Chains A and B, each alone.
Chain A
Amino acid sequence: MKIVFLLAACFSILAVALICIFLFANGVPAIWKIGVLDFLLGQKWMPANQLFGIFPMIVGSVYVTAGAIIVGVPMGILCAVFLARFCPERLYKIVKPAVSLLAGIPSIVYGFFGLVVIVPIMQDLTGGNGKGVLTASILLGIMILPTVIGVSESAIRAVPNSYYEGALALGATHERSVFFTLLPAAKQGILAGVILGVGRAIGETMAVIMIAGNQPVVPDSIFGGVRTLTANIVMEMGYAADLHREALLGTGVVLFVFILIINLSFSALKRRRS
């Protein structure tokens, strides 16, 4: 019977291996065919003209992810501080489930909310069509909040209380003790939460596709439309054929490599902590 359990445990190894093999085997040949540099650094994505440069999409993914970090991370960390050290117990019973609900809302619903609420607000503010880097950053920032909050909160809670008490005893206020002793002590855990949030933001598809504008060009301002790697795949996979389809799989490979790097640095950070 032990062998059955062992085989089941090996299934996750098999799954990761299969995912890697299938993605790389299907995507890498296309990248070679197009030319690695032409593919990664090419400025033009025109499938009709056999031009497959995904540089604008890489930039797009990086922009919206960076935007999401700027919007979501400070807010998330402060909120984690609130939950761990400022929140009365009674309120905690309401706020904590609310944060996990925020994590449970489907991304398509987030995207819809962005489309019908944030986009019109942006239209009023900027006069453009309202879809672009800034809109996507705000929505993604909201979407990564629960991840950042959850991991940061447990990191702050894991710091021994004696740190906090020591700071208080030295005459620091509650806020100073929390921000200047607890937070620095928890910084590795918080960083892990941020990395996890980055992973979520860069892999997000359905919400981004509705509000980012999806033009395959490097945006000239934060109001300009962008297309992310994920959006590129979802939008064109349905009708693409031949080299175009393979180029989309290549886009998937690039995204997957990004995610693997993020995952590995997350695990490395986690291992260093324990």
Chain B
Amino acid sequence: MRVQNKEKISQRLRSYKKQPLSALLFLLVMFSAVVTLSVLIALIAYILFKGIPNLSPELFAWEYTTENVSMMPAIINTLIITALSLLFALPIGIASAIYLVEYAKRGNKLVSLVRVTTETLSGIPSIVYGLFGYLFFNIFLEWSYTILGGALTLAIMILPLIMRTTEEALIAVPDLYREGSFGLGAGKLRTVFRIVLPSAVPGILAGVILAIGRIVGETAALLYPAGTAAQVADGLMSSGRTLAVHMYALLNEGLYMEQAYATAVVLLVMVIGINALSGLIAKKVGVKE
């Protein structure tokens, strides 16, 4: 195999001399691949390089004060909002995917409407979600800035992602499983919950992790429904900012550049970890993302 490759390369090199256009195209392709990769490497390296020296234990203190803009409350808020959003989005997303895959008949009008709306939802930019969350929760329901409102807004935002990955995971379950279950006398519902869903769990999990990644990185959708209070939220109905919002606030105030670098490191490490985890799970299942 390797010998063949080498032959191919030397052949190619020879042909490039006669084919300047092909040589140019080859160079362009390689150039853009190299540039794309180096942008990623530059971004990660720069932020780690500049940010890690700014990480200090004080930045992880439990209390946020103006002297010490600790990011710990923001990290805790991020965890709370992530858990809340998943709590709402997971049941609805999985149930809709079950309906679309297991129950709906082909060519059902409702199904195509659901598909169009989920596609629309996944295309809506986060700032529009933020505006909607503000209009619905803060103005219409007259809540003040609340992490519950923020979490619900994010739940709608990640819904299409959860639906799509669950659907793909359910479709990937072979029909043989379903037929076997029916053959043993199980009903539809039992088949779905006992046979189909458990085999689809890894695929669903990979989607959930991607959704967590989106929540962790989200700023614009949270700014208005959830507000920017820097402390750990007292309850569901009080304001709190996530790590990404915390970073935005630091940059906005303009006084805390070093702390912003440190926050960027934490955010970046979280996102890289989440991505690696999702890739690992997807590889285990053999589902291509």
Contact = CB atoms under 8 A, between A and B. Distances in A.
Contact of A237 (B114, B224, B264): B224
Contacts of A105: 43, 217, 268, 271
A9 B251 contact: no
A233 B15 CA distance: 56
B147 to A, nearest CB: 18
A259 B40 contact: no
Interface residues of B, number: 88
A101 B29 contact: no
A32 interface: no
Contact of B135 (A106, A115, A176, A249): A249
B289 interface: yes
A234 interface: yes
A173 B15 contact: yes
B224 A109 contact: no
Contacts of A75: 32, 35-36
A78 interface: yes
A74 B128 CA distance: 29
B272 interface: yes
- From DSSP, what is the main secondary structure of chain A's interface residues? helix
A161 to B, nearest CB: 17
B12 A174 contact: yes
Nearest to B111: A9
B21 interface: yes
Interface in B79-120: 91-93, 95-96, 98-100, 102-104, 110-111, 113-114, 116-120
A13 B268 contact: no
A100 B218 contact: no
B1 to A, nearest CB: 11
A108 B110 contact: no
B264 A78 contact: no
A5 B108 CA distance: 15
Contacts of B39: 102, 142, 145
A22 B114 contact: no
A41 interface: no
A99 interface: yes
A263 B120 CA distance: 6
Interface residues of A, number: 81
Interface string A211-251: 00000000000000000001001100110000000000100
Nearest to A266: B123
A78 B28 contact: yes
Interface in A9-32: 9-13, 15-16, 18-19, 22-23, 26
Interface in A187-210: 196, 199-200, 202-206, 210
Interface stretch (B52-60, B63-71, B156-164): B156-164
Given A108-B267, A263-B119, A267-B119, A206 B220 contact: yes
Nearest to B125: A203
B127 interface: yes
27 contacts: A1-B189, A8-B95, A16-B121, A22-B132, A26-B135, A76-B32, A78-B32, A82-B30, A97-B279, A104-B271, A106-B218, A106-B244, A107-B220, A112-B47, A116-B50, A117-B42, A149-B36, A175-B29, A176-B19, A178-B25, A179-B25, A199-B125, A202-B125, A206-B219, A233-B127, A262-B123, A263-B119
Given A8-B91, A79-B36, A234-B127, 12 more contacts: A12-B118, A13-B113, A82-B33, A83-B33, A97-B279, A105-B271, A109-B47, A109-B217, A113-B43, A113-B47, A178-B25, A263-B123
Nearest 5 CB-CB pairings of A with B: A203-B125, A106-B217, A8-B95, A5-B99, A78-B32
